Structure 1
Amino acid sequence: MPDSRQVLRTPAMAALLAAAALALTAGCESGGPTGAGPAASKKPSPTPSPAWNRSPRSIAAVGDSITRGFDACTVLADCPEVSWATGSDTQVDSLATRLLGPSAPTHSWNYAKTGARMADLPGQMTRAAAEHPGLVTVMTGANDACRDDVTAMTPVAAFRTDFVKALGELRAVSPQSQVYVASVPDLKRLWSTGRGSPLGKQIWKLGICQSMLADADDLGAGAVARREAVYDRVVAYNQVLKDVCLRDRACRYDGGAVFSYSFSGAQLSPWDWFHPSKDGQARLAELAYARVTA
Structure 2
Amino acid sequence: MREPATRPRTRGALAALAALGCVGTAALAGCSGGGGDHGVSRNAPASSRGASPSPSPTPDWNPRPGSVAAVGDSITRGFDACSVLADCPEVSWATGTDAAVRSLAVRLLGASKAADHSWNHAASGARMVQLPAQMALAAKERPELVTVMIGANDACRDSAALMTPVADFRASFTASMRQLRAGAPKAQVYVSSVPDLKRLWSTGRVNELGKKIWDLGICQSMLAGADDLGPAAVARREAVRERVVAYNEVLREVCAKDRHCRYDGGAVFGFRFTSAQLSPWDWFHPSRDGQARLAEIAYRNVTASQPPA
TM-score range, shorter chain: 0.7 to 0.9
Tell me how many residue pairs correspond in the alignment.
Answer: 247
Structure richer in helix, relative to its length:
1
- 1:74 corresponds in structure 2 to 83
1:278 to 288, 299, 304: 288
Return the alpha-carbon distance in structure 2 between the equivalents of residues 57 and 208 of structure 1. Answer: 37
> Aligned pair 1:121/2:131, yes or no?
yes
- 2:100 corresponds in structure 1 to 91
Return the alpha-carbon distance in structure 1 between the equivalents of residues 58 and 281 of structure 2. Answer: 44
Return the alpha-carbon distance in structure 1 between the equivalents of residues 182 and 59 of structure 2. Answer: 17
Return the alpha-carbon distance in structure 2 between the equivalents of residues 78 and 239 of structure 1. Answer: 29
- 2:121 corresponds in structure 1 to 111
Return the alpha-carbon distance in structure 2 between the equivalents of residues 132 and 288 of structure 1. Answer: 20
Report if aligned partners of 2:58, 2:261 keep a CA contact under 8 Å in 1. no
2:191 to 173, 181, 187: 181
One-letter identity of the residue aligned with 1:62: V
1:240 to partner: Cα distance: 0.2
1:139 to 136, 149, 156: 149
Q: TM-score, normalised by structure 2?
A: 0.79
1:186 to partner: Cα distance: 0.1
Return the alpha-carbon distance in structure 2 between the equivalents of residues 267 and 49 of structure 1. Answer: 32
1:259 to partner: Cα distance: 0.1
Return the alpha-carbon distance in structure 2 between the equivalents of residues 77 and 89 of structure 1. Answer: 16
One-letter identity of the residue aligned with 1:199: L
Task: Please give the secondary structure, in 1, of the residue aligned with 2:80.
Answer: coil
Write the deviation string for residues 15-51 of structure 1: whole angstroms up to 9, x where unpaired: xxxxxxxxxxxxxxxxxxxxxxxxxxxxxxxxx9542
> Aligned pair 1:148/2:158, yes or no?
yes
Aligned Cα root-mean-square deviation (Å): 0.8
1:52 to 20, 44, 61: 61
Task: Please give the secondary structure, in 2, of the residue aligned with 1:157.
Answer: helix
Q: Which has the higher contact order (CA 8 A, sep 6+)?
A: 2
- Larger radius of gyration between Structure 1 and Structure 2: 1
Return the alpha-carbon distance in structure 2 between the equivalents of residues 208 and 225 of structure 1. Answer: 19
Task: Please give the secondary structure, in 2, of the residue aligned with 1:215.
Answer: coil
Return the alpha-carbon distance in structure 1 between the equivalents of residues 210 and 58 of structure 2. Answer: 46
Report if aligned partners of 2:200, 2:284 keep a CA contact under 8 Å in 1. yes
- 1:157 corresponds in structure 2 to 167
Write the deviation string for residues 103-146 of structure 1: whole angstroms up to 9, x where unpaired: 10010000000000000000000000011100000000000000
> Aligned pair 1:253/2:263, yes or no?
yes
Q: Segments of 4+ in structure 1 off by > 4 A? A: none
1:206 to partner: Cα distance: 1.1
- 1:17 corresponds in structure 2 to none
Write the deviation string for residues 73-110 of structure 1: whole angstroms up to 9, x where unpaired: 00100000000000000000000000011210010000
One-letter identity of the residue aligned with 1:139: M
> Aligned pair 1:200/2:200, yes or no?
no
Return the alpha-carbon distance in structure 2 between the equivalents of residues 164 and 69 of structure 1. Answer: 26
Going from structure 1 to structure 2, the CA distance change for 1:49 and 1:266 (only over 3 Å counts) comes to closer
- 1:287 corresponds in structure 2 to 297
Task: Please give the secondary structure, in 1, of the residue aligned with 2:70.
Answer: strand
Return the alpha-carbon distance in structure 1 between the equivalents of residues 279 and 86 of structure 2. Answer: 12
Write the deviation string for residues 226-264 of structure 1: whole angstroms up to 9, x where unpaired: 001000000000000000000001000000000000000
- 1:191 corresponds in structure 2 to 201
One-letter identity of the residue aligned with 1:54: P
Going from structure 1 to structure 2, the CA distance change for 1:199 and 1:49 (only over 3 Å counts) comes to closer
- 2:20 corresponds in structure 1 to none
Q: TM-score, normalised by structure 1?
A: 0.83
- 2:250 corresponds in structure 1 to 240
Q: Name the % identity.
A: 71
* Residue segments in structure 1 that go unaligned for 5+ positions in a row: 1-47
One-letter identity of the residue aligned with 1:59: V
Going from structure 1 to structure 2, the CA distance change for 1:201 and 1:127 (only over 3 Å counts) comes to same
